[in-house]
């Protein structure tokens, strides 16, 4: 569960500041996300219910453990709770659940208010500063499906997920929690692109023609912080079937020393203003994906440093489609 410092910090933010922070987080994570208020909608609990986030998906993407298909409309609704005043996390979860159940005394729940009905979303996401455990998440989703089965998918983003994402955004930590975190001295930028053959092909592979530009993924890491950083790992986050699975990707994981080459070295100092590059063949990545199962989707790349900061970048659609082609055609293990 989330650390106590974050519980108190999110409580203190208040509804408006909480929504503002969430808008910045989702705006950075989901291309096409918009945040805006549209006036009063008669929300029972007195929070800023009329502030909705909308995400018109351009390509298949993931929210927590759910895969969102291209062209779907996702609605985010924000619920900030003063957990201490409600008597703790258990009571806060019960209070949230009441807002999503119609009854004789309160015939209209949150899912039937005009703002939701007018938008007719494919996906509804509740975003809250309350801690969300597995039992509550399942109960919330099942109750929402019963109240409004027209919406195809429900999800809830709680305190733990918000904590995880904000630890990857040092500039937001500094702005919204200055008493907990100091100035952001460590900060990296991750970029994903197709590699140039002249950059990545070593001498012993010069005569091989199968390694063309779009068969190699380049992970570039630029230090935009104030002090040197030391990278500890690179992960490829996969959607496997209906669940989310994070896969470490190192030389040993790919099973072939030629799969990752001309690399910078993990653990070496990355000075401010400098970058390190890591190259991965699509053939090796597709082998790793096929080992996970027949239905695998590459979502994002995660780079971790030695002190626990995590920096992520969503895989561009062009790279994702090219890699899916490799997976579907089942390239021979002997082919590079």
Name residues whose C-beta falls within 8 Å of residue 244's C-beta, 6 or more positions apart in sequence. Answer: 62, 64, 65, 237, 238, 299
Residue 40: what pLDDT? 47
**Residues 290 and 225 placed together within one structural domain of the fold:** yes
User: What CATH number corresponds to the domain at position 302?
Assistant: 2.60.40
335 is a domain residue: no
Q: Examine the domain organization and report whether 58 and 29 are in the same domain.
A: yes
311 and 255 in a common domain: yes
- Domain membership flag for residue 257: yes
DSSP string, 33-49: EEEEE------TT-S-T
The answer to whether position 175 is within a domain reads: no
Pairing status of strand 153-157 against strand 260-261 = unpaired
Question: Which pLDDT belongs to residue 240?
Answer: 79
Last residue of a domain, one of 135, 169, 203: 169
Give per-residue pLDDT as tens, 309-329: 888 888 988 888 888 888 887
Q: What is the pLDDT of residues 73-122, one digit of tens each?
A: 999 999 988 876 566 888 889 889 888 888 766 667 888 888 788 888 99
Among 169, 200, 225, residue at a domain's last position? 169
The residue to which tokens 């970058």 are assigned: 275
Is 68 in the same domain as 198? Answer: no
What pLDDT, on a 0 to 100 scale, did the predictor assign at position 335? 45
Q: Within 10 A of 91 (CB to CB), how many other CB atoms are there?
A: 14
pLDDT number for residue 258:
53
Q: Are strands 51-56 and 73-79 parallel, antiparallel or unpaired?
A: antiparallel
Q: State the DSSP string of 275-306.
A: EEEEEEEHHHHHHHHHHH-SSEEEEEEEEEET
How many domains in the chain?
Answer: 2
pLDDT at residue 75, as a whole number: 92
| Exposed e or buried b per residue across 176-206, where buried means at least 16 C-beta atoms within 10 angstroms of its C-beta | bbeeebeebebbbebebebbebeebbeeeee
Ranges of the chain with pLDDT below 50: 4-5, 7, 39-49, 207-213, 251-252, 255, 257, 331-336
CB contact set of 317 (below 8 Å; sequence gap of 6+): 58, 59
103 in any annotated domain: yes
Q: Which helix (DSSP H) or strand (DSSP E) does residue 316 occupy?
A: none
Packing angle, helices 134-147 and 89-98, rounded to 10: 10
Cα 105 to the center of its chain, rounded Å: 38
Domain membership of residue 27 as a residue range: 4-169
Among positive and negative, which fits the CA dihedral 45, 48, 49, 55?
A: negative
3 state DSSP class of 86: helix
Residue 312 has a pLDDT of: 87
Give the pLDDT score at 39: 45
Residue 179 lies in a domain: no
Identify the bridge partners of residue 126 per DSSP, sorted by sequence position. Answer: 77, 156
The residue out of 137, 169, 201 marking a domain boundary is 169
215 and 255 fall within a common domain = yes
Cβ atoms of residues 201 and 178 within 8 Å = no
Same structural domain, 148 and 292: no
Six-digit token pair at 26?
């989702």
Question: pLDDT value at position 308?
Answer: 82
């Amino acid at each position: 569960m989330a650390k106590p410092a974050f519980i108190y910090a999110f409580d203190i933010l208040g509804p408006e500041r909480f929504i503002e922070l969430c808008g910045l987080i989702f705006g950075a994570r989901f291309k096409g996300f918009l945040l805006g208020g549209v006036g009063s909608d008669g929300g029972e609990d007195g929070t800023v219910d009329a502030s909705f986030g909308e995400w018109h998906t351009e390509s298949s993407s993931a929210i927590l453990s759910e895969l969102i298909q291209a062209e779907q409309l996702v609605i985010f609704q924000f619920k900030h709770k003063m957990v201490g005043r409600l008597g703790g996390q258990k009571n806060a979860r019960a209070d949230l659940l009441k807002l999503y159940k119609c009854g004789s005394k309160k015939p209209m729940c949150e899912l039937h208010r005009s703002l939701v009905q007018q938008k007719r979303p494919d996906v509804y996401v509740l975003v809250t500063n309350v801690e969300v455990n597995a039992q509550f998440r399942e109960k919330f989703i099942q109750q929402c499906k019963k109240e409004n089965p027209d919406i195809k998918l429900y999800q809830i983003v709680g305190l733990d997920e918000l904590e995880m994402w904000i630890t990857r955004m040092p500039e937001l930590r500094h702005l919204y929690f200055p008493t907990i975190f100091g100035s952001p001295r460590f900060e990296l930028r991750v970029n994903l692109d197709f590699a140039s053959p002249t950059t990545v092909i070593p001498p012993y592979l010069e005569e091989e023609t199968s390694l063309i530009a779009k068969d190699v993924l380049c992970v570039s890491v630029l230090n935009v912080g104030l002090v040197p950083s030391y990278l500890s790992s690179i992960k490829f986050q996969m959607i496997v079937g209906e669940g989310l699975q994070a896969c470490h990707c190192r030389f040993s994981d790919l099973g072939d020393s030629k799969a990752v080459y001309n690399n910078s070295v993990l653990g070496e100092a990355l000075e401010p203003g400098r970058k390190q590059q890591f190259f991965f063949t699509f053939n090796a990545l597709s082998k790793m994906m096929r080992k996970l199962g027949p239905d695998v989707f590459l979502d994002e790349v995660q780079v971790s440093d030695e002190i626990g900061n995590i920096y992520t970048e969503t895989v561009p659609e062009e790279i994702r489609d090219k890699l899916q082609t490799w997976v579907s055609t089942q390239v021979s293990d002997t082919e590079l």
